[in-house]
Amino acid sequence: MDAVPWKNEGGQTRELCVEPPEADFASFVWRVSVADVGADADFSSFEGIDRTIVLLEGGGFTMHSAGRQVHDLAHCFVPHAFPGEQAVQVRLHGAPTLDFNLMVRREFAEGRVVVLDERNSRRLPGNSTLLYVAQGSACLSDEHGLQQSLRAGEFARLAPGDGAAMPDLLCAPGAIALLVCIVPR
């Protein structure tokens, strides 16, 4: 994954997956990425987009809008949703951060990020779209016994189609996985 500048060039992002596959910032239905935030910055504005951000590494940051604090992203693996058109400035708590981002064009779909660990390893729900392993390792197993192992920083696009069952997820002890669920409108 090559790093590319944010839409406003205030940071860098690495796109994991986008729908449709060749979409740009103006035409995606949904987009999943990881971003580096190395300094205080303004987030890019995305009109009509619902955003969810999850701190993966680093000291976190405080999100400000209209001059007031709106959210403190201080703990890893806690999703925070906000409207993409909201003007957001972030102030780092110290160390640079690595963040997981889901963006969904609300006209076409709604999305959420679910945090999974060894306690809730299970068959994934039918609206599962992407699984990202944030920490440790995890294994996906389909109805035919085929397995796909994933380590931290790796992801799998989930698209069973043709009536196939969604895979089972087994997280290793200490592992954290982020499940992206997209529901078309």
- The segment(s) of the chain belonging to CATH 2.60.120.10 are 4-107, 110-184
Upper half-sphere CA count for residue 52 (Cβ side, 13 Å): 21
Q: How far apart are alpha carbons 87 and 112 in whole angstroms?
A: 21
Q: What is the pLDDT along the chain (185 residues), one digit of tens a residue?
A: 678 877 777 678 999 999 999 998 899 999 999 999 988 988 888 999 999 999 999 999 999 998 788 899 999 999 999 999 999 999 999 889 999 999 999 999 999 999 999 998 888 988 899 999 999 999 999 888 889 999 999 999 997 555 668 899 999 999 999 999 999 98
User: Residue 160's pLDDT is what?
Assistant: 58
User: Residue 53's pLDDT is what?
Assistant: 98
- 172 burial via Cβ count (<10 Å: 0-12, 13-18, 19+): middle
Q: Is the pTM of this model over 0.95?
A: no
Cα Rg of the chain, angstroms: 16
- What superfamily does domain 4-107 belong to in CATH? Jelly Rolls (2.60.120.10)
- What superfamily does domain 110-184 belong to in CATH? Jelly Rolls (2.60.120.10)
